[in-house]
Amino acid sequence: MSYEPPITDYDEIVENCTCAFCGCNCDDLDYLVKDGHVVAVRHACRLGASKIMEDLDQRLVVPMIRGDDGELEEVDWDTALDKAAEYIANSVRPVFYGWSETSTECMKEGLDLGQYIGAVLDNQATICHGPSLQAVQNAGYPIQTLGEVKNRADMIVYSGSNAMNSHPRHMARYSVFPRGYFRQRGRFDRTVVTMDPKFSDTAKMSDKWIGFEQNGDYGFYNAIRAVIKGKKLTQEVISGIPREDIYELVDEMKHAEFGVLFFGLGLTHTLSKQRNIDIAIKMVMDLNKESKWGLTPMRGHFNVNGFNIFMAFETGFAFGVDFCRGYARYMLGETNTIDLLVRKEPDVFLVIAADPGAHFPNGANQHLAHIPVIQIDIHWGPSTELADVVLPGSFIGVECAGTSYRMDGVPIYMKKAIDKPETCRDDEWIVREIKERVMKLREEPNVAPKYIPNPAAE
């Protein structure tokens, strides 16, 4: 890595800002601002810093509409918003996807619009921690805050998560290295275990690596549960791990004073999906009879958890919430964005603060190419190439304030540090404007009206 000299040419330092990258939501960042731009970020990891420092080359700054020639043309805000509202007001199966990189305040406007028009509201959990949310709905949520982890945990287990790469400050700020109230020696007071088929960067700096075979998670956790219950294992090797090693691991877990299991997509997206998380939760419940244990999903985007908490609070369902019949409902395989797109059901797709063009499977993106796509975002990306209406938003936590939820469910207020470009608007304002224009076009909520059970009996 080449040496980068420190930035010394700046006008002011904005202190205690919150990072708008991953679910760690590090709220100790200092932004170095010059001429209304963030030129450097202190305390952030490279991922967070590179996102926060503006990349004006790719910044969306003016509203655009795709013309008849297939090219995006710059238009004024009224024209773009009217076009977006027209698409939504005339839709039969609209899907509003994203929300994980915008504020909770904006989600409120989106929910109002979704309820009014009978849309499906979904976020990135549908392609990441959706199985975790399904398991939590079944088995409960033995969670703790990251502050508790820092101050109390003496055993940290990462399962299917490479925190060193995906959440670079997680270990430094919350779990492994910090000195806590009861863990004064920091790293030396903690045992770190990584469960992952790959010998990842996180595994390299762990005390123990459990390299079970790919898709062997469920069998492995089942064996752990059996050993916790005092049973003897009959197979010599379970999911690629010798049984003696499982005995040793369980003994360590049972004797931990405070253990925490952090799990990532390596657990949620292997063969057994939500049942991997289900059995991990059950394992934590079993361990709580011997010691004190908790678990936390390693959430990816800085407010992906916020959308799930907000929607669960407002509707009872964490993601993939379908309002088309006038009430909230959710069903995996039916109301999730990928399933809907692969079934080619949506006729309008609003994407806010997300990039399905980059992250969705080919089959889903193929359908997006055939329907009107409305994009609210700050950067040009693959989704912009699919979009028919582009509405430039603002950067939460940098250009405008808002609330987000950390991976452990702690709400954090993200303050504004600089002004947004003059031609951009806040996400919240954009969604509210679309909502009001849709309401003008459709004077009554557009949901399938209540059914008369038996017209013949009337």
Partner 1 sequence: MKTITFDVKKRNQIALEFDEIIPDTIYTWEAEDFDKYAVPVGNSRFPLTDFFDITVEGTADSPADVKMVFNGDCGRVKYIGNKMSAGEIIVNGDADLHAGAEMSGGKMTVMGNVEAHAGREMSGGELEIYGNTKEFTGASYIGEWRGMTGGKITVHGNVGKQCGECLTGGHIHVLGDCDILAGIHMTKGVIEIDGNVNRWPGGQMKNGNIIIHGKLGRLLEGFVEEDIVTDPQIDGEIYKGRYISFKGDIALNGKGHLYLDAEKNRDKLSAWKETDDEYISLGENRKYR
Residues of this chain that bind partner 1 (CB under 8 A): 91-94, 117-119, 134, 137-138, 199, 203-204, 208-213, 218-219, 222-223, 225-226, 229, 231, 233-238, 240-242, 245, 271-273, 275, 278-279, 282, 323-325, 330-334, 343-345, 347, 446-449, 451, 453-457
Task: State the minimum distance, in angstroms, from the CB of residue 238 to partner 1.
Answer: 5
* Beta carbon nearer to partner 1, 276 or 403: 276
Euclidean distance between CA atoms 306 and 319, whole angstroms: 11
* Beta carbon nearer to partner 1, 61 or 332: 332
Task: State the minimum distance, in angstroms, from the CB of residue 354 to partner 1.
Answer: 22
Euclidean distance between CA atoms 102 and 377, whole angstroms: 9
Contact assessment for residue 117 and residue 91, using Cβ atoms and an 8 Å cutoff:
yes
Task: State the minimum distance, in angstroms, from the CB of residue 6 to partner 1.
Answer: 36
Euclidean distance between CA atoms 332 and 335, whole angstroms: 6
* Beta carbon nearer to partner 1, 3 or 313: 313
The two beta strands, 120-123 and 94-98, are parallel
* Beta carbon nearer to partner 1, 9 or 232: 232
* Beta carbon nearer to partner 1, 358 or 448: 448
Task: State the minimum distance, in angstroms, from the CB of residue 14 to partner 1.
Answer: 43
* Beta carbon nearer to partner 1, 213 or 314: 213
Euclidean distance between CA atoms 44 and 28, whole angstroms: 8
Task: State the minimum distance, in angstroms, from the CB of residue 208 to partner 1.
Answer: 6
* Beta carbon nearer to partner 1, 185 or 232: 232
* Beta carbon nearer to partner 1, 40 or 364: 364
Task: State the minimum distance, in angstroms, from the CB of residue 340 to partner 1.
Answer: 9
Contact assessment for residue 45 and residue 52, using Cβ atoms and an 8 Å cutoff:
no
Task: State the minimum distance, in angstroms, from the CB of residue 145 to partner 1.
Answer: 25
Task: State the minimum distance, in angstroms, from the CB of residue 98 to partner 1.
Answer: 19
